[in-house]
Each structure stands twice: as structure tokens, then as C-alpha cells.
Amino acid sequence: MAPPFRAEQIGSLLRPDELIAARTAAGQTVSYSTEPIPEELQKLTEKSIAQVVEQQLDRNVRPIMSGEFERSIYYAGFFEHLEGTRIVEVPVPAGLRNGLPVLHVMARLGMTMREAVIAVGKIRYVRSPYLADWEYLRSLMPSPAQWKECKFTLPPITWQHLQLRAGTAFTSSSPYTTDKEYFADLAQAFAQELRTLYDAGLRSVQVDDPQLLYFLTDEFRAGCRADGLNPDELLDLYIWAHNECLRGRPADLHVGIHLCRGNMPQSTHIVSGSYEQIAQRLFTGLDFDTFYLEYDTERAGDFQPLRHLPVGKNAVLGVVSTKDPALEDLDELENRVYEAADVIAQGQYRSRQEVLNSTLGVSPQCGFSSVGRGRGIGMTEGKMWEKLQLVQRLAERVWGRTV
């Protein structure tokens, strides 16, 4: 199965200033909330989503997405709506995992507390956190036949567990005594959400897990060891947990995973380094259909780790930057796609053309505003659309089409 779109986008789009101001005024900038959104803010959110969807339709940008305008940050909206969980504030850095690379960013921002969602009872899926958001997005499509042109993003099952100090993702009041017990129930909730969205017509999902790339850093791996954990065994646990979410999913539900090095405001990234150290384990171990990969700068390393990509899985190359407003050179981008295809072809004992036909797509390296108020230095709405249309032109250059 080839990627559903040759020209992709990763999810978040720049929010209109009016929406940012309204969310701030309403106190809707926290990561997690179970409080209903004020009616006026909900109306403005829906209006903003309708306008950005119209822009995507007019500009032929695919897949169609809400821009995550309904969220304050990309991982919001799921964990806090599960039965058996509670929103808490944890101290920074004491409440977070040793060696967490994002601690440097938090220190620079002066953060002393961080929100988290922990399990205080048995985790149960009681209602869909995202169904209403998906139903509104699909309502904006000209016909139900075009629902398949949409994509929806979900946070990763690993988010809380990897962020929090080892052993604190669930409390003694919960029924969990092991990490696998905790993840088993959480994975069941994720699988139920996938089924709910699928039954409502969604056919393409992207899971965002930039934290898996923390395993590239000596800092994080040393932090694991300081906690008495083997970092490779912890990564294996996370791979297992992700795959549990996908168990029993419908055959025609495409699910990909986005792996980048961070997308904080002011063009900040969290880590650097090649995928090499963990590429074989991720590409062969994870059961996702597609890997959305950051490849816009030397920060991501070269394409050699792609030799581990097995036949039957896809890679969408994030060769266009959302952090830098300067437009990339189309000829250089085309050459980079062929370079990546050659690496994959060598690893799979296939031809370049076979790999291009069956395996690759292109995209920006990340969303444009994973954090609601964030954007790359110098990035504007106009530049954002230019970047997305550059991705389209690249796909047309390589494949003659964007889907």
C-alpha cells in the first residue's frame, strides 16, 4: 500500500490571531481540561476551522485537516477524558523523568510546574474525546465521498509515561502494579477511539510521538539508567504499547506515526541526531503503515537509516521546513527524494522506481504550530501556504500527482 497522499501535511496550522486572543481570554491555553468550551469561543473555533478548510480545498492541499485549531497543543484532548484518570500538576524538574531533553527548554521558559494526566483508578473508555471534532471536520467536506481526503491526529500512548518521573504514571489507588498492565488498558482505550472514528467515516490517522526520538540522546539514555531502567527495554515497551493500540484495527484504516525532533515556539527543536541508533527497531518493530519523518536539515542526519524500512511500510519525507520561512529549492528537494529512494531500494533489493511507486511521499517536517501560540521565527500564514504548495509541486515533479 502506497501512502494515501504523495503530498502530505503534518497537522497543525497557524491559528488566526483572533482565535489565539479568544482562547487566551477564555483561559483555554492549558494542556488538559475537562471543562466545556465557552459557546462564543466554540463558534469562533468552528468558524476558523471552516475558513482554513476552505483554503485547503481552494489550494488543493491534502490531506484536509482542522489545523488542530480545537486544541491548545497537539497532545490535548484524550487522556483527561478517560475514566480513571486525573489532571495533576507536577514540579519541574522533580516530577519529570531524569534526562528528559525538554527540561532545558522548560528551564529557559522559567517553568516550575507542568500539567500531566495520571491513572488513579482503572482506565476505561467511556466516550469518544474526538468524535465531535471529526464530525465537524467531515461536515465541511463537499460530499461524504471526500471524507477519505481528510486526516486526523492523535497523541501517542507513551506521552504521560515517558514524561513523568519513573513509576508515577499511575498511583497506588489504581489497580496497576506494572507498566504493562497500565498500557494494556490505555491501549484498549486508544483502539476503541480508532474504531469509533473509523465507524464515523475516518480513514487516515496520524499519531504524533516526537518523544521516541529522545532515545537517540545520551542524556535521556543516561537518565533511564539513573532510574534503574534499561533504555532499550523501555523503548521495546513503548513499541509494544503502540502496537497494542493498533491490534484489531480495520484493514482499510491507514495509521501513520510522526517522528520529529520537536516543534516549540520560536523555531525551537528539542533534540538532534540521526535516526540510525533506533531506526531498525522502529521501522521493523512498529506496526504503523507510514512513518512521517523529519528530514529538513542536517539536524536529522542523512537518509542511511531508511535502509531498514521493510517492504510494505511507507516513509513520508519531511524535507520542507516549518521552522524557517525561506522556501527550499525545488530541484534540490527532488534530488533528495531520489537519494532517499536509492537508500531504501538498496536495503530492499528493489529498484528506485519500485520504491517511488510503492513507498514514498513528501511533506513538511512538522506542523506549523504544534503549540497553539507557537510559530517559527518569521513564519506567516502566507509563507505557510507557500510551503504547503511547494510540497505539492515537489510531489507533482516526482510522481506527476499529489495523491
- pLDDT higher than 80, residue 403: no
- The secondary structure of residue 268, as a DSSP letter, is B
- pLDDT higher than 60, residue 266: no
Q: How far apart are CA 131 and CA 137, in angstroms?
A: 10
**Could you tell me what percent of the chain has a pLDDT over 90?**
87
pLDDT tens per residue, range 282-292: 999 999 999 99
pLDDT of residue 299: 82
Tell me the three cell numbers of residue 142: 463537499
- pLDDT higher than 70, residue 267: no
pLDDT tens per residue, range 361-399: 999 999 998 877 767 788 999 999 999 999 999 999 999
CA angle 330, 332, 333 (to 5 degrees): 65
pLDDT, mean of residues 355-359: 96
Task: Give the relative orientation of helices 179-199 and 131-139 as an angle to the nearest 10 degrees.
Answer: 30
CATH of region 17-399: 3.20.20.210
Q: How far apart are CA 100 and CA 102, in angstroms?
A: 6
pLDDT of residue 339: 98
Tell me the three cell numbers of residue 76: 490535548
Q: For residues 284-312, b (16+ Cβ closer than 10 Å) or e, as one string? A: eebebbbbbbbbbeebbbebebbbbbeee
> What secondary structure does DSSP assign to 124-165, as a single string?
E--S-SSHHHHHHHHHTSSSGGGGGGB-EEE--TTHHHHHBP
Q: Of 290, 334, 235, 277, which is closest to residue 10 (Cα–Cα)? A: 290
pLDDT of residue 273: 86
pLDDT tens per residue, range 184-194: 999 999 999 99
Q: Of 72, 79, 49, 62, which is closest to residue 139 (Cα–Cα)? A: 49
Q: How far apart are CA 111 and CA 41, in angstroms?
A: 27
- The secondary structure of residue 7, as a DSSP letter, is B
Scanning 29-118, the segments in alpha helix (DSSP H) are: 39-59, 103-109
**Could you tell me what percent of the chain has a pLDDT over 70?**
98
Q: What is the residue-averaged pLDDT of the chain?
A: 94
Cα Rg of the chain (Å, integer):
20
Q: How far apart are CA 203 and CA 84, in angstroms?
A: 29
Confidence grade of residue 89 (pLDDT, cut at 50, 70, 90): very high
CA angle 143, 382, 139 (to 5 degrees): 15
pLDDT of residue 167: 95
Q: How far is CA 246 from the centre of its chain?
A: 16
Tell me the three cell numbers of residue 353: 522506481
pTM: 0.96
Scanning 140-230, the segments in alpha helix (DSSP H) are: 159-163, 179-199, 218-226
- Helices first, then strands: H and E counts in the chain: 12, 8
**Pairing verdict, β 113-124 and 83-91:** antiparallel
Confidence grade of residue 29 (pLDDT, cut at 50, 70, 90): confident
pLDDT of residue 269: 67
Q: Is 167 left (phi over 0), alpha (psi -120 to 50) or beta?
A: left
Side-by-side strand order, sheet with 290-294: 152-154, 204-208, 254-259, 290-294, 314-320, 360-364
pLDDT tens per residue, range 137-195: 999 999 999 999 999 999 999 999 999 999 999 999 999 999 999 999 999 999 999 99
Q: Is 196 left (phi over 0), alpha (psi -120 to 50) or beta?
A: alpha
pLDDT, mean of residues 122-147: 97
Burial of 346 (0-12, 13-18, 19+ CB in 10 A): middle
CA angle 205, 170, 264 (to 5 degrees): 50
